[in-house]
Amino acid sequence: MKINVVFNNDIKGFEKVLSDVERTLSKNGVEFESFELLEMKNFGDFTIAIGGDGTLLNSARFYSASSVPVFGINIGRLGFLSQSSSEGTEELVRNVIEGKYVQEERLMLQAGEELALNDFVIKGCNPARTSKFFLEINGKCVCDYIADGLIISTPTGSTAYGLSAGGPVIYPTLDAITIVPICPHTLNARPLVVPATEVISVKTPDGFLSVSPDGLEAVQVQDICIKASDKKAKLAFIQKEGFYTVLRNKLHWGISPRPS
């Protein structure tokens, strides 16, 4: 077994976790190489990503090309995807070495050469005002939006920006795409869930679209075509708590407010 160790040196506290991971791998005779997030390479057949969900998203996109599973150790804030915390790092790494983990394949979206495991966020060329967006699916006009933007998300991304914009929660292993308008200037615009086989196009008469995949730096384009990628992200989990348990623990789903 060869392991890639990816770390985000912008997150406070990464040094100790990285040191614990490397020491445990060395002690167990496992070959590994460590890479800073922006310098990832193809070395191993498994990846440990140390950081937050952003670190895992970047790692999962990069290693999807070689079908390498990615396991996240969360030292960020929410850690919805990186479900294992930095506590008990040595035991976590031993479980990886012994193969005591489960894998899930996750749908990714593609627009040109860009991949997204969470979502593509589309906004107008002037972020200070609403814009008009023309939505087409499989080349057919679906609707026009006057809104701050659109979120085209995977089921994995349904609990990210799309959720805060009023979109539905989608079970992460389903093959579906969600289209969520951001602050639409109408009372009848609703999120739309379509099969992953659909091809989604967005245009605007207002100039250019500003497009950001997975929260990365936005680029300006005249229009965009988004579809399911042939590549799948592979996520690894040590303890498979189940999606509904994660919703409850991380997002406090269905938990009644405590009396004051």
Tokens of 29: 């005779």
Instruction: Give CA separation, 120 vs 66, 171, 176, 216, in Å.
Output: 23, 18, 14, 10
Q: Which of 97, 89, 100, 120 is nearest to 21 (CA)?
A: 89
Helix axes 89-97, 14-27, angle to 10 degrees: 40
Query: Which class for 13: exposed (0-12), middle (13-18), buried (19 or more C-beta within 10 A)?
Result: exposed
Catalytic annotation on 214?
no
- Three-state DSSP at 192 gives strand
- First CA to last CA distance, the chain: 52
Active-site residue identified among 20, 53, 119, 148: 53
* CA gap 58, 182 in Å, rounded: 24
- Three-state DSSP at 228 gives strand
Active-site positions read 53
